[in-house]
Structure 1
């Protein structure tokens, strides 16, 4: 049975995406970063809540997913509006799906802390280090907001002065590839008995480090 035109278009888009990822160094080749690097290099860092997630076919060859957030608190940078929309490559429109390896979209109604690399450049993924710059917030059984990774692992520790490259016997080693969590973030694999850092403690640590950097 011959594939229909819609199926052929899906294959074409997937092949195009693979080519794009190899040519731009994205996809599974995202480098591991550090919390310090994300904080200093991100143009905008904010606490927010997802208001909507919408995928649209932006041209004949690409689909983008547009995620709109309510900005609840700005941690770094400036933004003139109460909401912000970030664009991610990939998504589903009708029967057409464009898949980009390792991209995880924020979910509808999700709360979190987001490290936006640039407010001006259009990128495959707008968050610094992809999922490394994507933290979610979950309330525990006492109502305390606690920090989680994008993969829903409790963030139990935070270090904001880790070196972005390691020195070994006087030589600089190459950064490793990302596993989804930045260096300086301690996570607990077993969620049953673990609780993430309180949201306020997480934000205070970020602001303290920013003050140290700006002194």
Structure 2
């Protein structure tokens, strides 16, 4: 077994994933409750994807680097106006490294991103993979928040005690209600979504703003 395979396996196992091969891996992602996603994130911000670039980081290793403009910090401390996050895998020339179920943010998208850590390297830098990745669709008064796969979010319910599951591709956190599952509820605006995040963060910290 190569040193690269050992290191990749250690990284993936630390996130509760199952590594099947070095260059093409299958993953299982455990569903989190939405308040866990909020609590786990070191940084939550609203921003726009400015650039995406894959780089070879070793003889047989590739990561994809995504640069975001930071428009608003919702939780955490971050003074910069831009941030770069790395996602394991990508393509450089004829060399390709694939992690199945990996959804990398796309250039031009605007969203709300839950960053796991500002210090430690992760296979996927967002909490719970797609569970920490939300998009903002539309402009001004028509803007709404959707999940990473485009479903309109209608409510965020903390304290949901339903059994957790192993998520399918592009799954979302427990407590995130989407249109079609919540009657005729209207999609959440970015302002309402961010206010709910702040409420959950305040409750989990014992009322400290």
Q: Provide the TM-score with structure 2 as the length reference.
A: 0.81
1:5-39 Cα deviation digits (max 9, x unpaired): xxxxxxx9xx8898567644325221100110011
Match of 2:142 among 141, 144, 151: 144
Q: Please report how far the alpha carbon of residue 161 of structure 1 lies from its aligned counterpart in structure 2 after TM superposition.
A: 2.6
Task: Report the structure number with the largest CA radius of gyration.
Answer: 1
8 Å contact kept, 2:11–2:122: no
Shift of residue 88 of structure 1?
A: 0.2
Question: Do the aligned partners of residues 205 and 23 (structure 1) sit closer, same or farther apart at CA in structure 2, a change above 3 Å counting?
Answer: closer
Larger CA deviation: 150-159 vs 83-92: 150-159
In 2: Cα distance, 1:60 partner to 1:134 partner: 30
Does structure 2 retain, via aligned residues, the 8 Å contact 1:154–1:194?
A: no
Cα shift at 1:61: 1.2
Q: Which of 197, 206, 209 is the matching residue for 2:188?
A: 197
How far off its partner does 1:177 sit? Answer: 0.9
Equivalent residue runs for 1:28-177 within 5 Å? 28-139=27-138, 144-163=142-161, 166=163, 175-177=164-166
Structure 2 gaps of 5+ residues are 18-25
Report the Cα distance in structure 2 between the residues aligned to 1:149 and 1:129, rounded to whole angstroms: 13
Residues 50, 67 of structure 2: 8 Å contact kept = yes
Of 205-214 and 16-25, more deviation after overlay is shown by 16-25
TM-score by length of 1: 0.79
The secondary structure found in structure 1 opposite 2:108 is coil
Paired position in structure 2 for 1:183:
174
C-alpha contact 2:137 2:146 (8 A) present in aligned 1: yes
Aligned pair in 2 of structure 1 residues 16, 90: CA closer, same or farther (>3 Å)?
farther
- Counting matched residue pairs gives 190
Q: What is the CA-CA distance between 1:73 and the residue it aligns to?
A: 0.5
Check conservation: 1:17, 1:100, Cα contact below 8 A: no
* Match of residue 201, structure 2, among 180, 187, 210: 210
Q: Note the residue ranges of structure 1 that are not aligned, 5 or more in a row.
A: 1-11, 167-174
- Cα distance in structure 2, aligned partners of 1:39 and 1:106: 19
Over 3 Å counting, the alpha-carbon distance change for 1:19 and 1:122 in structure 2 is closer
Cα displacement (A) at 1:188: 2.9
Judged with a 3 Å threshold, the aligned counterparts in structure 2 of structure 1 residues 62 and 147 are, in CA distance, closer, same or farther, namely same
